[in-house]
Amino acid sequence: MKFGQLYRIIAAVIGILAMTAGASKADEDAATRQNTLLETGWLFAQGDVTNAEKVNFDAGGWQTVSLPHCWGWEQAQKGESFYRGPGWYRREVAVMPQPGKRYFLKFDAASLVADVYLNGRLLGEHRGGFGAFTFELTTNLAPSGTNLLAVRVSNEKAPDIAPLSGDFNVYGGLYRPVHLIETPAVCFTLLDHASPGVAWSQTSVSATQAVLDVTTEISNGTTNGRPFTLYPVEKSKRGRFTLIAKVLDAAGNTVASQTQTIVLAPRVTEPFSLQVTVPQPHLWNGRLDPYLYRAVVELRSTNELVDTVEQPLGLRFYHVDPELGFFLNGQPYHLHGVCKHQDRQDKGWAVTDADLAEDVSLIKEIGATVVRCAHYQHSDTFYRLCDQAGILVWAEIPQVDQIGKSPDFAGTSRNQLLDLIRQNINHPCIFAWSLFNEVRPGSADPHREIEDLNLLAHGEDPTRPTIGATSHGTWPQMNKIPDLLGWNRYPGWYEPYKDLFNDTLWNEYQPSSRHGGMCFSEYGAGANITQHEDNPTEPDTGGQWHPEEWQCLVHEAAWKQFKSHPFIWGTFAWNMFDFCVVSRHEGGVMARNDKGLVTYDRKVRKDAFYFYKANWSTEPVLYLTDRRFTERTNAVIQVKAYSNLATATLSLNHHLIGTGTNDGNGVMVWPNVRLTPGENQAEVHGRTVTGQDLADQCKWHLSGDK
């Protein structure tokens, strides 16, 4: 008996048993997608291996790895040149093709170029190391159900792929998850730059209503315009579907919906649009109230659910006033936060969801309202965590330092921007699409390419502004292209410290001449937590001495200036975490950019972390600084605490020193405190306005008596 005959008999039996006009819940579940992570069972070989894509290739001796996986960090952390070239991954994938189903591979990222093969056949290539990409497997699957997946990944520098340079390492590998996705024959497309196939555009949002334009891309993989079904369908109704868009509140109640009947032609992908209006929306209000709806689109045939996509939805509106700063939902909402790279000690870029959750937890703890995801597209998981935390995000493409002279550079950069926007357009946390970071003289003229990217971003998403980060007025005409502009400036580090205390820096930015308001997209100073100095002087930034106390002075002075100028709508401390840069050897640590407020391993919050926590967080803070400056040689010292209390008392060796008063910048100082030879214990005590007692203590050891 042929398979088709057998299948029709089985289908008829099931249809008789069902005896229902509509599909049951079990049938609907069977019709929806299945997403399987391909985490284990991978074999890896570094280098370019001939015939590694072929099914009968002998991979004996290859390394067994799990995803996420990347190479290069081991050498980079030692300050050694790391491998930039190809590597190969192989894995068996068990898929027994089912009628009416389609199969896709989604890679959340691969650095920098990935060529994907199934059973020896090339599925396609993706160029760019930070965006997701998807290939369909359906017609290339083996009837036996056993398939050989092979992926060639290369992080070799390519003239058409940004970044061409940058103060960070470009590791190689499959460093984010890989998914095997099964869908119905008719589905919301997975092949549009690996987007969800659905875009919820917040066309008009206010406190009274939110108008959402929903665009879907529906892919019909059938030859007759009808999805595979176990139930008989009238011939006249084939190809007809119902498209539903609905918004559910946090409790699961439908608050708005729209329905449309559509007709699908076979073997095409078509766009369909709906408009949904949410009355009296509960707004996503940043850290104050990150309320999320559930945005659901469904595709239904006569009697069953065909496909569905659900995503979180945060409704909000915002703008930048050149004089008064950033406004969220009609109210002033200052953006103060940090920049962040994606790497992590002893892992490189191969970080887990748990690692990202820890990073967001620390960013929340410091009280940040915003994060700049430098200098490339970060993972969907990180953006999702920011949605939930109410942390706004500056999202970037890796257009760093240089514009490539290759004729293909503009096209690859365009695709990187399309990856970023289409994959992440539904994240409420993202408030701007960034076009460049510090493009400098010496590269190709950037104006034509960046103007094209600016037009592309506005065409893809008219609801968000574009932004760029610049330094020292480089390419002044380029700086006028994006809607908003950030300045990367380092008074007290790469520029004179005195600029933090006078108007030299600020006079450059008169309100009448500012471009879309003003923000500082980078500022900060390095700090090695093992290096300390009383009354520190301005260090050699490229040298081996980066005392922690100097970092504190720079951030104290910078924040005091920033908060006194209301037209500065955003500030982004560089950086939240120390990170690896193979070319650096400074601050006493090989291959480390030590400007982080938290150490590379995430184990130590530096003193400057608590300075910002005292200024930004709503949590009561009382923290004694210099706690790692344990060995002292000066008997008379200054004791300093960071706090959001009005006052606190200091005791040394159980003797009261006196009361310290907050200077309005989160700093309390007790000058001329005398230590005794040997061990000294300092204790600080305070009480909140609600009566909560706070205390902190640390120990210092005095050698000699000066």
As a whole number of angstroms, the distance between CA 69 and CA 27 comes to 37
**pLDDT value of residue 31:** 52
pLDDT reading at 454 higher than 90: yes
Domain boundary among 249, 282, 313: 313
Q: Are 602 and 357 in contact (CB under 8 A)?
A: no
Residue type, 156: E
pLDDT of residue 580: 98
For a pLDDT cut of 90, what percent of the chain falls above it?
85
Containing domain of residue 533, as a range? 332-618
User: How far is it, in rounded angstroms, from Cα 627 to Cα 541?
Assistant: 23
Q: How many CB atoms lie within 10 A of CB 99?
A: 10
Q: Which amino acid is at 433?
A: W
- Evaluate whether 396 touches 104 at the Cβ level (below 8 Å): no
| The pLDDT value given to residue 504 | 59
**CA separation for the pair 376, 191 (Å, rounded):** 21
Per-residue pLDDT at 704:
73
Same domain, 502 and 636: no
The verdict on residue 73 lying in a domain is: yes
User: What pLDDT is attached to residue 226?
Assistant: 59
Q: What is the CATH number of the domain that holds 360?
A: 3.20.20.80
| Three-state secondary structure call for residue 281 | coil
Q: Is residue 586 part of a domain?
A: yes
Residue 609 shares a structural domain with residue 565: yes
Residue 6 resides in a domain: no
538 counts as catalytic: no
Give how far Cα 90 sits from Cα of 39, 70, 119, Å: 12, 15, 11
**Alpha-carbon span 373 to 181, nearest angstrom:** 28
Q: Does 506 reside within a domain? A: yes
Question: pLDDT (tens digit, 9 = 90+) per residue, 46-55?
Answer: 999 999 999 9
358 and 411 share one domain: yes
Q: Are residues 175 and 269 in the same domain?
A: no
State whether 151 and 224 are in the same domain.
Answer: no
The region of weakest confidence among 248-257, 291-300, 498-507, 527-536 is 498-507
Q: What is the pLDDT of residue 498?
A: 81
Residues 199 and 347 in one domain: no
What is the pLDDT confidence band of residue 441, given thresholds at 50, 70 and 90? confident
Residue 14: band (very low, low, confident or very high) from pLDDT cuts 50, 70, 90: very low
Distance of alpha carbon 447 from alpha carbon 426, whole angstroms:
29
What is the number of domains present in the chain? 4
Least confident residue range of 462-476, 635-649, 670-684: 462-476
Rounded average pLDDT over 403-416: 96
- pLDDT surpasses 70 at 248: yes
Rounded average pLDDT over 427-454: 93
Q: Are residues 229 and 169 part of one domain? A: no
In this predicted structure, what is the pLDDT of residue 225?
59
Q: 58: which DSSP letter?
A: -
Q: What's 266's domain CATH number?
A: 2.60.40.10
Using 50, 70 and 90 to split pLDDT, how confident is the model at 16?
very low
Tell me the average pLDDT across 576-593: 97
CATH of the domain at 45: 2.60.120.260
Residue 389, domain member (yes or no):
yes
Q: From the CB of residue 278, how many other CB atoms can be counted at a distance below 10 Å?
A: 19
- Predicted pLDDT at 273: 97
Determine contact, residues 430/468, Cβ cutoff 8 Å: no
Catalytic residue, candidates 438, 548, 556, 586: 438
Q: Same structural domain for residues 286 and 354?
A: no
Q: What is the mean pLDDT of residues 231-241?
A: 56
Confidence check: pLDDT of 404 > 50 = yes
Mean pLDDT of the chain: 92
Identify whether 381 is part of a domain. yes
Same domain, 563 and 646: no
151-177 mean pLDDT: 98
Specify if 602 maps to a domain. Answer: yes
| Domain finish residue from 313, 343, 358 | 313
What six digits make up the tokens of 59? 């991979």
321 occurs within a structural domain: no
89-126 pLDDT, tens digit per residue, is: 999 999 999 999 999 999 999 999 999 999 999 999 99
pLDDT higher than threshold 70 for residue 129: yes
Number of neighbours of residue 503 by Cβ within 10 angstroms? 9
Between the alpha carbon of residue 562 and those of residues 492, 526, 576, the distances in Å are 14, 19, 18
- CB within 8 A of 231, min separation 6: which ones? 15, 18, 23, 302, 303, 304
Q: Is the same domain home to 377 and 401?
A: yes
Are 641 and 605 part of one and the same domain? no
Higher pLDDT, 534 or 239: 534
Q: Are residues 354 and 244 in the same domain?
A: no
pLDDT of 10 higher than 80? no
Predicted local distance difference test score (pLDDT) of residue 515: 62
Lowest-pLDDT range of 30-39, 201-210, 457-466: 30-39
Query: What is residue 30's predicted lDDT score, i.e. its pLDDT?
Result: 44
pLDDT at 134 over 90: yes
Task: Give the domain-ending residue among 618, 643, 674.
Answer: 618
Q: Name residue 394's beta-bridge partners.
A: 372, 432
User: Which tens digit of pLDDT belongs to each residue from 351-399?
Assistant: 999 999 999 999 999 999 999 999 999 999 999 999 999 999 999 999 9
Average pLDDT of span 303-313: 93
